[in-house]
A = this chain, B = another copy of it.
Amino acid sequence: MSGKIAYLSLLRLTEEILLAGYGYNEAEAKITARLLTEADARGIPSHGVSRLAFYRANLDQGHCRPGRMPEIVWQTPVSLVVDARGGVGCFAADWCVQRTIELALKSGAGHCAVRNSNHYGIAGYWAELMAQKDLIGLAFTNTYIAGVPTFGIRRILGTNPVAAAIPEANGKIFMLDMATTTVSHGKVELYDRRRKPMPTGWVVDETGQEAYDATSFEKTFYQTFLGGHLYIGGAGEESGGHKGFGLGLLIELLCSGLSLGASSLATYPAGGPGGITHFFSAMRMDLFGNPERLKAHIGSILETIRRSEKAAGRDRIYIHGEKEAEARQKALAEGVFLDKTTQEYLAGLAGKFGLKKLEEI
């Protein structure tokens, strides 16, 4: 009862479920299964295979329409605007990121705004794809509405994550991948299940007051558009909440604004395509010098931080992306951990679509 599944088995079953039961074509199933499996392998189960339930709901509600090919609607030698036509989010993102990488390799930099897409998995995966080609990679997206503006109460912006990847020395990658809200909604759900009071700076109620009771917050969350997540820095301006809100808004303007796409508020309309928007950007490192010298210099800046004095009771300063990269290495060697609920959920899907169930390692 290790709870661990071989990476390739998990990848294959996820792919087969999407092919057999979701109406995804092979390319859509392959990349979506990759994103979900990677999230679990990296220790980000909120974006792992348990998301198959959300992807199912997106199909049933007409938000996601497999088989739709993305279409370029605006083009320059350094940029693209793509209409994903309500297709599979991970597939559209891959299609766009590959083209953004091509633009950057050819022209020095490439920028791509995407509209009418769907959930694209972990943002960091896309930024990392660019960094693996020695590019500085940015991947942004808006999401379903989750957060309230500073001094507001209506949920009007998404969790609007930022991912930025910069190649370091020795094949390492600095990889920041963060929601601009203090936490994702999955964290609130966890505190609800555990009946644990939430820390300060997470959410406000429908009057704009900070809320700490996850269970009562969850009850109203799906009944009203008032009250919601705070952005990093928390409520008000005293500890920088307006800064976090500003970052979330910046992501919204780059994704929805530059693609002429839906704002977070207008995503997931009843029966309509999800309307999620993304923004990708890639810059070749040799825009700024010899890539090997730059990576060595970046490595030395990070190394100084890694080695600097630790707070009482702490023995490590983490550089962004390290936890996930180490979890991934471990998962590749020892298997991907899935909790019991997720394993049972997968087993149910496998049974439903006549597929072979997973076995623990």
Which A residues lie at the B interface, using CB under 8 A?
74, 76-79, 81, 107-109, 111, 113, 136, 149-154, 156-157, 162, 164, 166, 174, 176, 178, 182-183, 199-202, 204, 207-209, 226, 232-234, 238-240, 242-244, 246-247, 249-250, 252-254, 256-260, 263, 265, 283, 285-289, 293-294, 297-298, 301-302, 304-305, 308-312, 314, 316-320
Q: A232 touching B244 by the CB < 8 A rule?
A: yes
- Chain A interface helix/strand/loop/mixed: mixed
Q: B257 touching A301 by the CB < 8 A rule?
A: yes
Question: Within the complex, which residue of B107, B152, B293 is in contact with A309, where a contact is CB–CB below 8 Å?
Answer: B152
Q: A108 touching B293 by the CB < 8 A rule?
A: no
Q: A305 touching B149 by the CB < 8 A rule?
A: yes
Question: In the assembly, what is the distance between CA of A130 and CA of B181, in Å?
Answer: 28
Question: Within the complex, which residue of B200, B242, B301, B311 is in contact with A208, where a contact is CB–CB below 8 Å?
Answer: B311
Question: In the assembly, what is the distance between CA of A302 and CA of B265, in Å?
Answer: 12
- Give A243's nearest chain B residue, CB to CB: B178
List 19 A-B pairs, Cβ < 8 Å: A76-B286, A79-B283, A150-B318, A151-B310, A152-B309, A152-B310, A152-B314, A152-B317, A176-B246, A182-B239, A183-B240, A199-B239, A232-B233, A232-B243, A240-B244, A242-B320, A249-B319, A256-B297, A260-B297
Known contacts A240-B182, A318-B242, A253 near B298 by CB under 8 Å: yes
Q: B182 touching A233 by the CB < 8 A rule?
A: yes
Q: B209 touching A312 by the CB < 8 A rule?
A: yes
Q: A154 touching B308 by the CB < 8 A rule?
A: yes
